[in-house]
């Protein structure tokens, strides 16, 4: 049985991870973390998740709970995640990270930490989304430059970063398959007299509405037809179950920065 530390345990994703860990044959909640000053500090993680008392109190002291051989699962904010990953690398723990919104410099720092610790990081833990990345690369290569690529994503009104990490990863996958530099061809929203669409650009549009869990559509369009690939998440449990699958996989792995493709063997 592997001990799991859930960071952001009172958040939307953290609470579902705590709930989905109940009854797991391989993983158990050993500790729960929240930010200093959070209203849930001291509360029972199980009660906060709506599943009854677990006997695990939510704390704000990561050094006390991120210890050797434990697995950190985190969906929070970049600054907190980086601080926790420093501890993971220091003490010999492992980590499954679903946090998004990292800057390029922060991503480089995580890659450096991956030389000292086993870190699985993905902008979307959904198994189906991970498979979709593979399909997108295949479609992009087959259709080539004759098809315009547009990506739209919809999330709940509380999401802090845009575009979503999943939409950005989809754009990266398509750009790589087409031999393009996303930094040069990415277009994020349009307004005014923008002129005709160029053949190389990859559009990424973000919508924020109500309680939408997550929806992503990649459209390949040309004169006469359009092909779309859409993923809709109906529940956050989709991401929680993927994170738990990753936590089981990373147990016993050596240092490295891994992805959900590694978890699924793709």
Q: Is 155 an annotated catalytic residue?
A: yes
* 219, two tokens: 């459209």
Q: Is 68 an annotated catalytic residue?
A: no
Who contacts 198 (Cβ-Cβ below 8 Å, separation ≥6)?
Answer: 185
230 DSSP β-pair partners: 217
Is the Cα torsion angle 150, 151, 157, 162 positive or negative in sign? negative
Catalytic residue among 38, 109, 159, 200: 159
User: How many distinct helices (H) and strands (E) make up the chain?
Assistant: 10, 12
Nearest alpha carbon to residue 174 among 147, 205, 212, 213 = 147
Nearest alpha carbon to residue 162 among 217, 203, 207, 209 = 207
Burial of 154 (0-12, 13-18, 19+ CB in 10 A): buried
Asked if 204 and 151 count as a contact pair (C-beta separation under 8 A), the reply is: yes
How big is the chain, counted in residues? Answer: 266
Catalytic residue among 155, 184, 200, 216: 155
Q: What is the residue whose two structure tokens read 């990270």?
A: 97
Question: Catalytic residues, which ones?
Answer: 155, 159
């Amino acid at each position: 049985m592997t001990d799991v530390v859930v960071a952001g345990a009172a958040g939307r994703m953290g609470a579902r991870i705590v709930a989905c860990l109940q009854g797991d044959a391989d993983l158990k909640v050993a500790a729960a973390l929240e930010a200093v000053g959070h209203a849930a500090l001291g509360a029972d993680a199980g009660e906060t998740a709506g599943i009854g008392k677990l006997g695990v109190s939510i704390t704000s002291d990561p050094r006390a709970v991120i210890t050797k051989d434990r697995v950190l699962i985190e969906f929070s904010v970049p600054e907190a995640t980086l601080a926790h990953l420093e501890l993971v690398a220091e003490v010999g723990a492992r980590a499954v990270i679903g946090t998004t919104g990292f800057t390029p410099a922060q991503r480089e720092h995580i890659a450096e930490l991956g030389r000292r610790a086993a870190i699985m990081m993905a902008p979307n833990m959904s198994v189906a989304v991970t498979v979709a990345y593979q399909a997108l690369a295949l479609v992009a290569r087959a259709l080539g430059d004759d098809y315009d690529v547009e990506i739209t994503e919809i999330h709940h009104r509380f999401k802090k970063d845009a575009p979503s990490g999943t939409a950005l990863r989809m754009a990266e996958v398509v750009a790589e398959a087409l031999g393009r530099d996303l930094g040069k061809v990415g277009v994020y929203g349009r307004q005014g007299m923008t002129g005709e669409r160029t053949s190389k650009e990859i559009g990424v549009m973000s919508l924020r509405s109500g309680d939408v869990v997550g929806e992503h559509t990649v459209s390949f369009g040309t004169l006469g037809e359009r092909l779309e690939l859409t993923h809709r998440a109906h529940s956050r449990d989709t991401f929680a179950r993927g994170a738990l699958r990753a936590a089981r996989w990373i147990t016993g792995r050596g240092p490295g920065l891994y992805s959900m493709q590694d978890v699924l063997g793709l």
